[in-house]
Amino acid sequence: MSEHALIVIDVQNDFCPGGALAVDEGDVIVPLMNQLIDTHSHVILTQDWHTADHSSFASQHPGKAPYETVEAEYGPQTLWPDHCVQGTKGAEFHPDLNVTPAELIIRKGFRQAIDSYSAFFENDHTTPTGLAGYLRERGLSKLRLAGLATDFCVAYSALDAVAQGFSVEVVLAASRGIDLDGSVDAMIGRMREAGVVIR
């Protein structure tokens, strides 16, 4: 069993083919993710969990379309199709994901006025989710991250994790990206520069 804590990012129906914000091949990672889950003694899941009127949804901004950007109080915010609404099928984990061994599920993006890509901080980069404190109290300093999407929730989680002093690996084979204007390559570059080990 690896001593790394595995953090499984947002493997939810809405990020898989047929979902509201489908990531290409988002479902293809599930068998490999299940192998990773089997070989880690600490497994943590994250779950994007938005209110139906969430401010990151283009539907809440008259005249705006998905993938456009608005200026939020905390800075620029990309607008998305409605996705991962609390209590819906789309917000559920992929049905084949082995969620049973998970010791913690961190939900994020549940406050209407603020999005949260990172598992550690909301998009204001100051409101903590509590995950860093959890990991520290449990003595878990080595993290391995994978999931959806490489260039958003995986990348921002990895960047925050190194900034918080954790040792961080991202497993690309068990991740897939949204890729807006080359954002996958850009975010992989930012992660490497910050000291994230890309596997």
Which region among 30-38, 92-100, 149-157, 184-192 touches ligand VGL (by CB under 6 A)? Answer: 149-157
Which region among 24-32, 67-75, 145-153, 185-193 touches ligand VGL (by CB under 6 A)? Answer: 145-153
Handedness of CA 186, 159, 82, 103 (dihedral sign): positive
The DSSP-derived string for 25-89 is TTTTTHHHHHHHHHTEEEEEEEEE-B-TT-TTBGGGSTT--TT-EEEETTEEEE-B-S--BTTSG
Among 16, 148, 174, 187, binds ligand VGL (CB under 6 A): 148
Cβ closest to ligand VGL, residue 132 vs residue 187 = 187
Binding flag, residue 152, ligand VGL (CB under 6 A): yes
Which of Zn ion, ligand VGL, none does 49 bind, CB closer than 5 to 8 A by kind?
Answer: none
DSSP state, residue 198: E
| Distance, C-alpha 99 to centroid of its chain | 16
Binding mask 103-142 for ligand VGL (x = CB under 6 A): --------------x-------------------------
Cβ closest to ligand VGL, residue 117 vs residue 121 = 117
Binding flag, residue 57, ligand VGL (CB under 6 A): no
Cβ closest to ligand VGL, residue 10 vs residue 160 = 10
Q: What Å distances lie between residue 74 and 48, 56, 98, CA to CA?
A: 19, 12, 35
Query: Are 141 and 166 contacting, i.e. CB atoms less than 8 angstroms apart?
Result: yes
Binding flag, residue 85, ligand VGL (CB under 6 A): no
Which region among 40-48, 88-96, 98-106, 186-194 touches Zn ion (by CB under 5 A)? Answer: 40-48
Among 48, 122, 151, 160, binds Zn ion (CB under 5 A): 48
Closest residue by Cα to residue 54 from 88, 31, 95: 88
Q: What are 57's two structure tokens? A: 């949804």
Q: Exposed, middle or buried, 92 (CB in 10 Å: 0-12/13-18/19+)?
A: middle
List residues binding Zn ion (CB under 5 A): 48, 109
